[in-house]
Amino acid sequence: MTAVQTPSVDAPVDGPGGSKLGSTIKRVIASNPSVLPTVAAIVIFIGMVIYGEVAYGRIVQYNTLSNLLINNAHLIILAAGMTFVILTGGIDLSVGSVIAFSSVAGVMLANAGWNPWVVIVLMILIGTVFGLASGILIQYFNVQPFIATLAMMFLGRGLASLLSTQPERLADDSQLLWLGEQFKLIDGEKVNDVVITPGVIIAFVVVLVAFFVLHRTRTGRTVYAIGGSESSSALMGLAVPRTKILVYVISGTLSGIAAVVYTSRLGIAQNITGIGWELDAIAATVIGGTLLTGGYGYVLGSVVGALVLGLMNVLITRDGGIPPEMTTIITGGILLVFVLLQRAVTSKRQT
Partner 1 sequence: MSTGARTSWLRELVRKPFFWGLVAIVALLVLNVLKDPNYLAISYDPETGRLVGNVVDILRASAPILMIAVGMSLVIATGGIDLSVGSVMAVSGAVAMVLMKDAGDSGSVLVALGAIGLALLISAVLGAVNGVLVAYVGLQPFISTLIMMLAGRGIAKVITEGQNTSASNEPFRWIANGFLIGLPVVFLLAIAIAIVVGLVVRRSALGLMIEAIGINPKASRMAGIKPNGLLLTVYILSGVLAGVAGIMSVGTVMTVDVSRTGYQMELDAILAVVIGGTSLSGGKFSIGGAVVGGLLIATLDKTIVFLGISSSATPAFKAIVIVVLCLLQSQRVRSWFVQRRKPPRASAAPSAVPSEKPQQKQEVTA
- Residue placing its CB nearer to partner 1 in the complex, 151 or 194: 151
Residue from the set 151, 201, 213, 268 that interacts with partner 1 by CB under 8 A: 151
Q: Which helix (H) or strand (E) holds 184?
A: strand 183-186
In angstroms, rounded to a whole number, what is the distance separating the alpha carbons of residues 107 and 157?
16
- Residue placing its CB nearer to partner 1 in the complex, 55 or 340: 340
332 binds partner 1 (CB under 8 A): yes
Task: Give the interface segment with partner 1, choosing from 48-56, 120-128, 170-178, 320-328 (CB under 8 A).
Answer: 320-328
120 Cβ partners below 8 Å, 6+ apart? 106, 176, 260
327 Cβ partners below 8 Å, 6+ apart? 312, 313, 316
Task: List helix spans (H) across the chain.
Answer: 2-14, 19-31, 36-55, 62-87, 95-111, 116-140, 145-163, 198-216, 218-228, 230-235, 240-266, 277-287, 299-319, 326-350
Residue from the set 75, 90, 157, 298 that interacts with partner 1 by CB under 8 A: 157
C-alpha dist (Å) from residue 199 to 23, 102, 131: 35, 16, 22
Least gap, CB of 251 to partner 1 (angstroms): 17
**Do residues 124 and 179 make contact, with C-beta atoms less than 8 angstroms apart?**
no
How many residues bind partner 1, per CB under 8 A?
Answer: 52
- Residue placing its CB nearer to partner 1 in the complex, 115 or 144: 144
Least gap, CB of 154 to partner 1 (angstroms): 4
First to last CA, the chain: 24
Residue from the set 55, 118, 208, 326 that interacts with partner 1 by CB under 8 A: 326
142 binds partner 1 (CB under 8 A): yes
Residue from the set 2, 30, 31, 141 that interacts with partner 1 by CB under 8 A: 141
Task: Give the interface segment with partner 1, choosing from 9-17, 169-177, 259-267, 276-284 (CB under 8 A).
Answer: 276-284
Least gap, CB of 45 to partner 1 (angstroms): 20
Interface with partner 1 in residues 97-136 (CB under 8 A)? 97, 136
Q: In b/e form, how buried is each residue of 46-55, taking b as 16+ CB within 10 angstroms?
A: bebbeebeee
Interface with partner 1 in residues 195-254 (CB under 8 A)? 234, 237, 240-241
**Do residues 130 and 252 make contact, with C-beta atoms less than 8 angstroms apart?**
yes
C-alpha dist (Å) from residue 239 to 138, 214, 229, 231, 252: 15, 15, 13, 11, 20
- Residue placing its CB nearer to partner 1 in the complex, 194 or 279: 279
333 binds partner 1 (CB under 8 A): yes
Contacting positions for partner 1 (CB under 8 A): 91, 97, 136-137, 140-144, 146-148, 150-155, 157-159, 161-162, 165, 234, 237, 240-241, 271, 279, 282-283, 286, 292-293, 323-333, 335-336, 339-340, 343, 347
